[in-house]
Chains A and B, each alone.
Chain A
Amino acid sequence: MLKVTNCSFTANFEFEIEGGISMIIGPNGAGKTTFLKTISGRIKPPLCKVILDGEDISHLPTSEIIRKGIVLVPSGKANFPDLTVEENLRLGMYVGKVKTKKEIFEGIYSLFPVLKERKNQIAGTLSGGEQKMLAIARGLAANPKILLLDEPSFGLAPKVIESIYESFKKIKDEGTSIIISEQGISVALDFKDIIDQVYFIINHKFTFKGRIDELEKIEDVRRVYFGV
C-alpha cells in the first residue's frame, strides 16, 4: 500500500505497509517526525521515493498528497485555536470528496461524542485531550486512506491516552490505515493488541520491523530504553 525507498531512513531496510495500525518507535531525535513529514510531502529529501498503491507521489505538493489519501496530524495541539470545533472539522474536509459532509460529521461524532457536545465551542478552550481528539478528527475529516499521527500520546493523562487508542481500533475497522509515531515504548506495550506491527528507528535509520514482543529482544531497544 505505502512504500518508502531510496532515502537514508530506509538504507538496507524495506519500509512497506499493507494496512492496519503500524507504530514507529524511536528515541528523541531519531527522525520520526522527519519521516512522517517526508511521507506527507512537507519535506522532500532528494531521490527519496514515496509510493502509494504503485504510484510515485514523492514529487507532489502536500495539498495533492492529501487528496491522494495521506493525512498528517502533527504533534501537539494541532488545531486552530480561534475557530470553533465544527469549523476546524470543516477545514479538515477541505479536500475530502468521496463521502458527503454529513456522513463524515456523523462518523466523527460517533467516534468522539465529546466533540459533538462542544461543536460550537472555540477550539482553544478545549482541554488538552479534547484538542488532541479534535486534531485526529480533523485528520479523519479528509477521509484518508492512511492517517499519520505524530506522537498522539504526548502530554496526555493515561486515561485519555487509553480512550484515544481505543478509537484507533474503530478507525482501523472503517478501513483507514494508521501510522503512529511514539517516543516511549511503554505505550506500545500497553496497547499490544491494537498495534499490528512495530518499526524501530534510531539515528535516522530503521533497524527493526515486526511484532511488539520481539521488540524487547533487539539490542538497540534494550540499550536505549532499558539501559542494558
Chain B
Amino acid sequence: MGFRSSLLLVFIVPFIIFLASLFIPPSYQRVTILFLIYAGLTLPWVVLFKMGYVSLGSAAFYGAGAYIFVYLTKLLPALPYFLAVILPIPIIAFIAIIVGYATMRLRGIFFIFATFAAAEALRQIFLYSEINYTGHVGKIITESLTTIEALALLSIILVIAGLFFYLTTVPKFRIVINCIREDEELARVAGINTLRYKILFFTIASVIQGLVGSIAAWYLAYIDPDLVFSSMISIQVLVIGLLGGSGNILGTIAASALLVYLSEQLIRIASHLYLIFLGVSVILVAKFMKKGFSGFIEGIWKILENRREVR
C-alpha cells in the first residue's frame, strides 16, 4: 500500500492525536482543540486547492455551521445537542450548492474574491438578523462540551475530513481533479461534467467545515458574527494549507499543529508577533520545501523505505 493512498493513516492519526491529548495538561488540551479545528477546516480547503481553487471563504461555512447550530438549540430547546450538529448539514449543503453554482464557474483571483465576499455577506446577514430580531449581538450556549468530549468529536471530524481527502486520491477522482486543474476545457470535451464535480466537492468541503463550526460553537459556548465569520480564520486556513501542501493529510495536520501551538506561545510575548513568524515561515517553506510539509514527509518516508529495501 502506497503512503499517499494510505487509508489506514486517515484513522490512525486522529486516534493517536486523541489518545495523546488525554495525557497532557488541560491548557495544552485546549490548544489541541484549536489545532484540531484548524486541521478540520484546512483539509477540505486543500481538496479545493488540488482542483486549482484557492478559497478565502472557509469562515463562511465555519460560521454558518456555528450559527445554525446555535439557532437550532435556541429555537428547539428540547432538541438533543448532537442532533443540532447533524441537522445543519442539509442547510449548509443547500447554501454551498447555491454559492458553489455561482462561484465555481470563476477562476483564479475572481474566485478568491467571490468566496471572500460570500463570507462577508453571511457575516452581515447574521449581524443584521442578530441586531434586528434577537435584540443583542452574540449568543451563549448553556451546556457546552467538556474538553475531552470536544477532543473526541473533533477527532471524529478529522477522520471524516481525512476520508474526504482520501476520496480525492482514489484513481477516478484523482484524474478528474487533475483534469479540472490542468485543462478544464479539455476535460469537458472528454465528457466530464466538470461543474457537477466542482459543486460536489465544494459542497462536501463546505459541509465538513460547517460541522467543525457547529462543534466549535458547542465547545466555545459563545459566538458572535465577528468571531466566527472572521476573515482571519479564512486567511489562517489558507496559510496552513499552503504550508502543509496537498500531497497527504499529515502535511496539513503538521502545519496546523505547528502554527497553532507557535501562535499560542508567541501570543504571550506580544499579541501579533506570530504574524511575523507566519510570514517568515511561508517564505522558508516556499524556498526550501516546494511541496510543503507533505512533500517533506513523503521524502523522508521514501528514504526510510529505500533503507528497508537495502536491508
Contacts and interface: CB of A to CB of B under 8 A. Distances in A.
Interface string B164-197: 0000000100010011001101111111110000
Contacts of A90: 171, 175
Q: How large is the interface on A (under 10, 10 to 19, 20 to 34, 35 or more residues)?
A: 20 to 34
A82 B174 CA distance: 11
A40 to B, nearest CB: 7
Interface string A64-84: 001100011110001111110
A133 interface: no
Interface of A: 40, 42, 61-63, 66-67, 71-74, 78-83, 87, 90-92, 94-95, 138, 142
Q: How large is the interface on B (under 10, 10 to 19, 20 to 34, 35 or more residues)?
A: 10 to 19
A63 B192 contact: yes
B182 A67 contact: no
Contacts of A42: 185, 188-189
A83 B189 contact: no
Given A87-B175, A90-B175, A91-B175, A81 B190 contact: no
A219 B193 CA distance: 44
Interface of B: 171, 175, 178-179, 182-183, 185-193
Interface centre among A40, A63, A87 (most CB of B within 10 A): A63
24 contacts: A40-B189, A42-B185, A42-B188, A42-B189, A62-B188, A63-B193, A66-B190, A66-B191, A72-B189, A74-B185, A74-B186, A74-B189, A80-B178, A80-B186, A83-B178, A87-B175, A90-B175, A91-B190, A92-B190, A94-B190, A94-B191, A94-B192, A138-B190, A142-B190
Nearest to A150: B189
Given A87-B175, A90-B175, A91-B175, A62 B189 contact: yes
Contacts of B186: 74, 78-80
B178 A63 contact: no
A116 to B, nearest CB: 19
A142 B189 contact: no
A87 B187 CA distance: 13
A76 to B, nearest CB: 10
A45 B106 CA distance: 23
Contacts of B188: 42, 62-63
Given A74-B186, A78-B186, A83 B175 contact: yes
B170 to A, nearest CB: 13
A91 B179 contact: yes
A61 B193 contact: yes
Contacts of A71: 191
Given A74-B189, A80-B183, A81-B182, 18 more contacts: A42-B189, A61-B193, A63-B188, A63-B191, A63-B193, A71-B191, A74-B185, A79-B186, A80-B175, A80-B182, A80-B186, A83-B175, A83-B178, A87-B175, A90-B171, A91-B187, A91-B192, A95-B191
Contacts of A94: 190-192
Contact of B179 (A74, A80, A95): A80
A87 B170 CA distance: 12
A7 to B, nearest CB: 20
